[in-house]
Structure 1
Amino acid sequence: MTTKRVVLITGAGSGIGAGCVRRLAAPGTAMLLHTRRNAEGLDRVAAAARMAGAEAVTMLGDIGDAALPAALVARAMEEFGALDVVVTAAGFADRTPFAQADDAIFQKSIDGVLWGFLRTARAALPHLMGRDAPRIIAISSFVAHVFRTDVSTFPASAAAKGAVEALVRALAVEAAKGGVTVNAVAPGYTRKDPGAHAALSQAQWDAVTAKIPMGRLGTPDDVAEAVAYFASPAAGYVTGQVLHVNGGLI
């Protein structure tokens, strides 16, 4: 069994997931990195992790596929023989207004966000229990908290992310007996990678930036710093929490 700290990160091909890889990659770390289909992007992220001294293997698949989360955990165990940290960053934003969102719109968010987290955590938990500083960290979103007429709402995403946060709190209670902490990071508006799909137009990005007290969008690295704290030994007595990284947006 490896003596390295083994980290599984979903949604690692770009954005916040890739930022988490950059922040957590280090000598003595082994990483299983996942993305849905951006193999080229994931390969670049994995190469950067290796340059930082980590081991890294990659795996593709839709996190909304019921079988994939368990397959990711099984691959981590096969490759490295252990699992210490799980970061679920896979997801997407859906701005479809409530009145226009049919069942399929809501189901897509529930499958990709809530079930993706639930199934990954369920598969990982038995392997995390009793490890040294085991961690589960979900990436949530401000959309589950900010509801204003001057800020876009994301009904399907809000429902899914809000459910993830409730599950984080419930799981934190049950997992504590094995020393596993379970927390979430809720980013605010966060800058996309160049060329990446964005839910907002440039004009809309400019408008929302003006509403952020700190006067700028967040970056994936801002979010990754919060994830790194939750993943660290320093956060060993912090569980069931949601840390907002949003520049003061309320």
Structure 2
Amino acid sequence: MDSHRALTGKVALVTGAARGIGRAIAVRLAHDGALVGVHYGHSEAAALDTVAEIRKNGGRAFPVGAELGVPGDAAAVFEAFDAGLREEGSEAGEVTEGGALDILVNNAGVSGSGPVGRAVPEVFDRMMAVNAKAPYFLVQQALPRMRDGGRIVNVSSLASRHAFPESVAYAMSKGALDTLTLCLAKELGGRGITVNTVAPGFVETDMNARRRATPEARDALAARSVFGRIGMPSDVADVVAFLASDDARWVTGQYLDVSGGTDL
């Protein structure tokens, strides 16, 4: 299948798409033909830059601004999504089907929980609210509008399957997301909707910049992959694009390790 046309006619929503892995996913899905809602919580300028990059390269996208981890967050996301979808359809001279959705990528997340001995309830609650609760209710809001044969991709972490004691609350929140994938895959199979998890390892993003602060620290992270390098956002985005395509129609309920063979 020609990847540039694989998602033509599809509508996608990518959370946390202003930068990092989410941005790479949004850019790749748009490259493959999808109309992409670029969600952001606070970084409007970065989200608009992502949208501009997509449009510059001939793709279609629109910003979706709504904070996650607060009461009513999922409803606010889809209110902004619907408004952006209508505006995009109007600008293109189309009659855009109200609220239609084909691909939901739950990518947005927060980290920085620390070891259990230094944990505080406020940080723990924030981790769970953004990394686990928000995706749960985003799916709830998405399902009535998602067309049969749709795709849900949850971005987890290697931390949910490997021991990283310095990030225990973060790992717990991503473990909850993994469980959500399994349950949804079974529930939604009758509609032809696939649900999968991708689990990155160490990727060059703002989230883990502190762990790459010195050349020695950077080299140590790179050495944990069998390829001897740190992952790039595009390494993850390409796998998400596969899962979003028809090529992955027979793949569901899976946890795909996209860590570059970290700690094998």
TM-score normalised by length of structure 2? 0.85
Partner in structure 1 of residue 213 of structure 2? 202
What one-letter code is carried by the residue in structure 2 that aligns with 1:202? Answer: A
| Cα drift, residue 135 of structure 1 | 0.4
Q: What secondary structure is seen at the aligned counterpart in 1 of 2:37?
A: strand
Aligned to 1:184: 197
Structure 1 unaligned residues grouped into runs of 5+: none
After superposition, the CA RMSD in angstroms is 1.9
1:36 Cα deviation after fit: 1.3
8 A contact 1:27–1:53 mirrored in 2: no
Structure 2 equivalent of residue 171 of structure 1: 184
| Superimposed CA distance per residue, residues 121-152 of structure 1 (whole angstroms, 9 cap, x where no aligned partner) | 1110121142xx300111100111121xxx66
Distance 2:81 2:65 in 1: 13
Match of 1:136 in 2: 152
Cα distance per residue 1:62-89 (max 9 Å; x no partner): 2112322223224434424210000111
Contact 2:197-2:256 within 8 A present in 1 as well: yes
Q: Which amino acid aligns with 2:114?
A: T
Alignment partner for residue 234 of structure 1, among 225, 241, 247? 247
Question: Structure 1 pair 38/240, CA: closer, same or farther in 2 (3 Å)?
Answer: same
- 1:23 is matched with which residue? 28
Output one character per residue of 1:4-54: Cα deviation in whole Å (capped at 9) or x when no partner: 311101100000000001111137522211111111111110011112333
Q: Determine if the alignment matches structure 1 residue 112 to structure 2 residue 125.
A: no
Deviates more, 1:62-71 or 1:38-47: 62-71
Change (3 A) 1:27 1:106: closer
- Are the aligned partners of 2:113 and 2:124 in contact in 1 as well (CA < 8 Å)? no
SS, match of residue 158 in structure 1: helix
Mean Cα displacement is larger for which, 167-176 or 94-103?
Answer: 94-103
- Cα deviation for residue 197 of structure 1 reads 6.7
Q: Is 1:126 aligned to residue 144 of structure 2?
A: yes
Task: Give structure 2 stretches of 5+ with no counterpart.
Answer: 1-7, 86-95
**1:67 lines up with 2:72 in the alignment:** yes
Q: Give 1:102's aligned residue.
A: 120
Counterparts of 1:56 and 1:202, CA distance in 2:
33
Identity of matched residues, % = 33
Q: Which moved more, 1:21-30 or 1:138-147?
A: 21-30
In the alignment, the residues of structure 2 paired with residue 83 and residue 76 of structure 1 have an alpha-carbon distance, to the nearest angstrom, of 10
Return the letter of the residue paired with 2:18. Answer: G
Distance 1:212 1:197, change over 3 A: closer
Contact 2:114 2:168 in 1 (8 A): yes
Matches within 5 A, 1:83-98: 83-98=101-116
